A and B are shown apart, each in its own frame.
Chain A
Amino acid sequence: MKTDAAGAGRSIYLPDFCTSRASLVVILIVELTALVLTLARQNASIDFWGELARTSFFLLWIGLAAAGLLCLVHENLTKLNVTQGSAVVFALIAAVISIVSAFAIYVGRTEVVNNLGVAELFPHDAGPFVLRNVLIGLIITALALRYFFVTHEWRRNVEMRAAARVHALQARIRPHFLFNSMNTIASLTRTNPVLAEQAVQDLADLFRANLNEKRNILLLQEEVEVAHIYQRIEQLRLGERLRVDWKIDALPNDALVPGLMLQPLLENAIYHGIEPRPEGGTVTVTGEIANGLITIVVRNPVGESTSERGGNQLALANIRERLTLMYEESALVKSGRFDAEYIVTLRFPYVEKRERLVT
């Protein structure tokens, strides 16, 4: 494989430390380390809270300076492989710890501190102090890097699984739909060449959207367009039996969504809800936005269980996985049968800029 996903696997696994999320993780690591160090040093003569505050203060300087530095070099780090990247991170952190430690010693020796009478709060054994700090820092860094590495690997795994499922899904759906559409076009070529031409163009657009592996993230508007094209093709075949009621004017066109999110839902609704019914029916697509959350609901009629076609869970599981990958726990995919309807609900935050995505 020479896709982007595989390429990312060979480069550095660290998160982008410019994000507030990563800074939070750094602060957490710092505070936990401070707690461990203070607890280890604990004896009756030491004031616990004072000690914890002092250690935290010192470590926060190191932590935030390191995070800031990693944020600056992030671009360059991504060009390195795992070993090189890790080595650079270790070197950077050792340097940051040395500088901050030396600075602490320097401040402790200044007149201001001496005049204030708080000199005993600062370290004095210059050499051993720096060495000790660098050692502790490197051990903590090793643990943290291991944590980031495992998280990254897990995430990459999920992504690859999702990609594999997209391919499986495409391979599964295509034949039935393709041959029926070809038959429709063959018929239209004789009876209505203009419509036949449009159908060929629509089919080409639909396949382009399907085959394009790069277009993982689309504007909602583009995704809706793909669904419309799909509907046009099915309409030729099913005629009056298929009605689709679009109520999505409230939705922002520029919201970011995973590609092939809506079209497979429409395909499912038609395949399971409309095609098996001699009298056809209406698929309703409703879109709402409230409190920065977009809700899309697709509903179709369902008949008695006897004539139902099995196996519509694959597409849904796939959409759930990709939406979760994009929006983590703020994404929601629900589905179920309520009375005579099958209802799928998608909910995800309105994000219009790629940079703001958690990935």
Chain B
Amino acid sequence: MTLKVLIVDDEPPARERLKSLLSEIPDTEVVGEAVNGQQSLDRTHELVPDVVLLDVRMPGMDGIEVARHLNALDEPPAVIFTTAFDEYAVNAFEAHAVGYLLKPIRKEKLAAALVRASRLTRPQLQKVAAAASNGKRRTHIAARRREGLRLIPVEDVQFFLAEQKYTTVRHVSGEDLIEDSLRSLEEELGDDFVRIHRNALVSVRYLERIERSDDGQYFVRLRGCAAPLQVSRRMAGELRDRFRI
């Protein structure tokens, strides 16, 4: 059975080299290439590769974040990271038994890694992300759509609203459903977002003003959102303190 491989790297010579190495390894087939995060999600959805060779350092979104989003797919591919030099990442890969290859990659090592390649588990990825990105957080939120996964830049997000099973993310170009819990989002996105209610986390970037209705209820208005969002009594005090209103 032939192993279908997707190559993800922003540098053309690096992709060329992997293609040429893979052409010499039997029972493998390069089904496609991608140069950034969104493209690799699209190609994965479309081509369903068995293995993704994923560069750690890429502009826009790094490989570790791409892997986390890939993992949200229904049938996530196996991931092997590639890197030229990245101490933090390599230490994290070692510690959590995640497959990786050092550039310039040797053919034997590539062949061996492909044989061993396995799907990453969610906890594995979270630990690697925490260790390797050195406190850096995700730059995008992955939303599941019919045509595949859509990446929403965190800076475009106006607010998150917790519903029964899913979380709704409202952003400048619409609304999507995501699987992350409000609590984990708040923990990760920390300073740029503020909890205004048990079920609502809003972006400080879009916060326009805080209003008080006649019956003493507080609301916030966000730039680009028509409807005001209710602030819970408990959070109103904190919000006032934080923004000195």
Residues of A within 8 A of B13 (CB): 183-184, 187-188, 191, 236-237
Partner among A187, A238, A239 whose Cβ is within 8 Å of the Cβ of B17: A187
**B148-159 contact mask (Cβ, 8 Å, vs A): 1 or 0:** 000000110000
Give me the interface of A with B, judged by CB distance under 8 Å. Answer: 175-176, 178-180, 182-188, 190-191, 236-239, 275-278, 304, 306-307
> In the complex, how many angstroms separate the beta carbon of B181 from the nearest chain A beta carbon?
23
Check A307/B14 contact, CB under 8 A, given A182-B104, A183-B103. Answer: no
Cross-chain contact B60 with A278 (CB below 8 angstroms): yes
Cross-chain contact B59 with A182 (CB below 8 angstroms): no
21 cross-chain CB contacts under 8 A? A176-B86, A179-B84, A179-B104, A180-B85, A180-B103, A182-B104, A183-B14, A183-B17, A183-B84, A183-B104, A183-B105, A186-B104, A187-B104, A237-B11, A237-B13, A277-B60, A278-B59, A278-B60, A306-B154, A306-B155, A307-B139
B40 within 8 Å of A by Cβ? no
Cross-chain contact B60 with A276 (CB below 8 angstroms): yes
Cross-chain contact B103 with A179 (CB below 8 angstroms): yes
Partner among B20, B36, B85, B105 whose Cβ is within 8 Å of the Cβ of A175: B85
B176 within 8 Å of A by Cβ? no
Complex-state Cα separation, A186 to B106, whole angstroms? 10
Residues of A within 8 A of B59 (CB): 275-278, 307
Closest A-B pairs by Cβ, 4 of them: A187-B17, A179-B84, A186-B104, A187-B13
What would 11 more interface pairs be, CB under 8 Å, given A237-B13, A239-B11? A176-B86, A179-B104, A180-B103, A183-B13, A183-B105, A184-B14, A187-B20, A188-B13, A190-B16, A190-B17, A239-B12
B10 within 8 Å of A by Cβ? yes
For residues 1 through 35 of chain B, which have their beta carbon under 8 Å from a beta carbon of chain A? 10-14, 16-17, 20, 35
Query: Looking across the interface, which residue of chain B has its beta carbon closest to that of A237?
Result: B11
Complex-state Cα separation, A277 to B154, whole angstroms? 17
Residues of A within 8 A of B10 (CB): 278
Query: Looking across the interface, which residue of chain B has its beta carbon closest to that of A185?
Result: B104
Query: Looking across the interface, which residue of chain A has its beta carbon closest to that of B84?
Result: A179
Complex-state Cα separation, A176 to B139, whole angstroms? 23
Cross-chain contact A191 with B16 (CB below 8 angstroms): yes
Residues of A within 8 A of B12 (CB): 239
Complex-state Cα separation, A304 to B139, whole angstroms? 12
Residues of A within 8 A of B103 (CB): 179-180, 182-183, 186
